[in-house]
Amino acid sequence: MSSINNSPIDEISLKKLTDLKNDKAISIVEKYISLCKPAKITVITDSEEDINYVKNRSLEIGEEIALKNGHTVHYDGYHDQARDKKNTRVLLPEGKFLENHINTVDRDAGLDEMHQILEGIMQGKEMFIRFFCLGPTKSKFSISALQITDSAYVAHSEDILYRQGYEQFKNLNGSDDFFYLVHSAGKLDENKNSVDIDNRRIYIDLEENRVYSVNNQYAGNSLGLKKLCLRLAINKANKEGWLTEHMFISGVPSLDEKRKTYFLGAYPSACGKTSTAMIPGHTIVGDDITYIKLDDNNKPHAVNIENGIFGIIKDVNPEDDPLIYKVLTTPREMIYSNVLINDGKAYWQGMNAEVPDHGRNHSGEWKKGNVDSNGKEIPISHGNARYTIRLRDLENVDPEVQNPDGVEFRAILYGGRDSDTAVPVAESLYWAHGVMNGASIESETTAATLGKEGVRKNQPMANLDFVVVPLASYLYSHLKLGEKIGEEQIKIFTTNYFLRDENNSFFDDKVDKKVWLKWAEGRVHNEFDAIETPIGFIPRYEDLKDIFKKVFDKEYKFDRYEKEFAVRIDKFIDKLNRVEQFFKGSPNLPEGFTRELQLQRDRLLNTKDKYGKSIIKPSEFI
């Protein structure tokens, strides 16, 4: 404690720290005060006064700008607008092995580099010491987290996105079982943006359950509680026998709206995750990260670890996203990032409203026609511009969102982006088949992506970027969960909203996904029969026709059904080949998984032999 006592910490903050009665937390704070050398140290509790202090400091020092309606805006640096995959690395101890998809750096070398960067990095700045809880407080899901940062914007964002955890930290009773996160935005320019971007580093230390993040401000890099703690939690869950997943949680009403069934859903970026989580008439528990554990009766429960949403704002408009749009345009505490501001209001791409031809955005002072260094016109807002809101601000928030026991879910959705193979919705034949389907998710590049269009990338469980354990262990955990809960309790579905017809037009409208989920909800409760195919159970035409009529008063034509639910054998075999090739780099895969790959191939080939053709219409299976 001697170095803390000799540091620029006042008596009030020192007492808040010592009141925790946690030697490890105190030693961590002591270490990083000594290393980072802040000019001021402020410990924040769960009190409204302390939390307001953080928000006000962000405005005072210019990390956020006040707008109308109580909104604020933050600007990341022009080159700090997305997750930095190149510089996000797992610290790998000597002698340990992680798979090639995991970006690593030697642990000793990484720690030495990080400590050199952190030396004196907070000189002249204020260090905020924060305490949060991942998952509901006083819950078997709760994971405490200590955040050290010199960014008031980061600390304010976390107040909106996460549950306060100072009192929860006291309940640890001195335990060292918590995550901790050290962040510094580093040296700032006149726009309050990180300057030393060549030394931007995000290092994950699985050995110590900690994350380092320096010389950045974009929340995906700087908010350690988000995707960085996702990696820590995947590692922790894998060791302890539960699951951490990149999934939403949604309450799906039955067709007659007399029942609600909770679904989880995993989708890679740009594959429909948010739009599925926010289907009108459904409720939302969470949109991003989920912890899954079993209760004493082996019933699976899930919680949203977050308390808010850090969402992409591009194309949010009153027609497609009325609930979110209403939140973004009415008075409340919320943060925009990297949008255009003019006269105290925010504007963004795809908002379907008249926008000004000048203002301030991520590039600085902007006017229509401005170009970047490559001569490309700068849009009114960045394509990855964001909003940060509390879940409670949404009209469709589920009443169980704060339940410490989580919600009991009955189904899992896995979806990718696929123009020519997968049907709009199918039920896996059984749990292990569903795990194989989840591990086989592919995301197809579009015209909006740099590089070649139509390239498929494997994204197992839509979680590949964050899985920091061997894929064999990760898949084994999924298979084991199914054994514990029993085959009948959970159904696994695949969805694909991006199937195209012979004219290269989408079969589905954006809203049609509501029909696929209504069918899936009914299947969970055995209300619909289905057609068994080699890829799983698919809907009967009569049921979909009835659901389309009841939900949208819309005719669903048989010709469309026959085309979009046709099983394209050769295309599925091509996909299977890609999946098998992808997993060749993963040693010691569970036998249950490799067996499913072979069974899938056998079903496809046997079906092709039986029918003597490679494309089989659903009516032909009856």
Structure tokens at 179: 């995550």
pLDDT at 140 over 60: yes
Domain residue spans of the chain: 2-63+83-240, 245-307+401-621, 310-393
Percent of the residues in the chain that have a pLDDT greater than 90, as a whole number: 90
| pLDDT for residue 520 | 98
**pLDDT level of residue 613 (50, 70, 90 thresholds):** very high
pTM, rounded to two decimals: 0.95
Picking from 54, 46, 227, 240, the residue whose alpha carbon sits closest to that of residue 153 is 54
| pLDDT for residue 451 | 56
Rounded to 5 degrees, what are φ and ψ at 66?
-75, 135
**pLDDT level of residue 453 (50, 70, 90 thresholds):** low
pLDDT in tens, 347-357: 999 999 999 99
| pLDDT for residue 2 | 53
Give burial (CB, 10 Å; 0-12/13-18/19+) of 508.
middle
pLDDT at 401 over 70: yes
Q: Give the side-chain half-sphere CA count within 13 A for 557.
A: 5
What is the average pLDDT score of the chain?
95
Q: At what angle do helices 569-583 and 591-611 cross, to 10 degrees?
A: 160
pLDDT at 450 over 50: no
pLDDT in tens, 200-246: 999 999 999 999 999 999 999 999 999 999 999 999 999 999 999 99
pLDDT in tens, 77-107: 888 888 899 999 999 999 888 888 899 999 9
pLDDT in tens, 553-572: 999 999 999 999 999 999 99
**Is the CB of residue 184 less than 8 Å from the CB of residue 155?**
no
Structure tokens at 405: 């026991």
Contacts of 43 (CB under 8 A, 6+ apart): 9, 12, 13, 14, 16, 17, 129
| pLDDT for residue 33 | 96
- The secondary structure of 578-594 as a DSSP string is HHHHHHTTSTT--HHHH
**Is the CB of residue 268 less than 8 Å from the CB of residue 254?**
no
310-393 shares the fold of 2-63+83-240? no
What is the rounded average pLDDT of the residues 16-20?
Answer: 96
What is the rounded average pLDDT of the residues 427-449?
Answer: 87
* HEC sequence for 112-139: HHHHHHHCCCCCCCEEEEEEEEECCCCC
| pLDDT for residue 7 | 78
Picking from 513, 521, 519, the residue whose alpha carbon sits closest to that of residue 531 is 519
Q: Which residues are catalytic?
A: 271
pLDDT in tens, 474-521: 999 999 999 999 877 899 999 999 999 998 999 999 899 999 999 999
Structure tokens at 77: 């640096």
Pairing of β 364-367 and β 358-361: antiparallel
**pLDDT level of residue 143 (50, 70, 90 thresholds):** very high
pLDDT in tens, 370-394: 999 889 999 999 999 999 999 999 9
CATH annotation of 310-393: 2.170.8.10
**What fold is seen in the domain 2-63+83-240?**
Phosphoenolpyruvate Carboxykinase; domain 1 (3.40.449)
What are the angstrom distances between the C-alpha of 306 and each of 88, 291, 369, 418? Answer: 22, 10, 39, 30
pLDDT in tens, 252-275: 999 999 999 999 999 998 898 988
Q: Does domain 245-307+401-621 have CATH number 3.40.50.300?
A: no
Percent of the residues in the chain that have a pLDDT greater than 70, as a whole number: 98
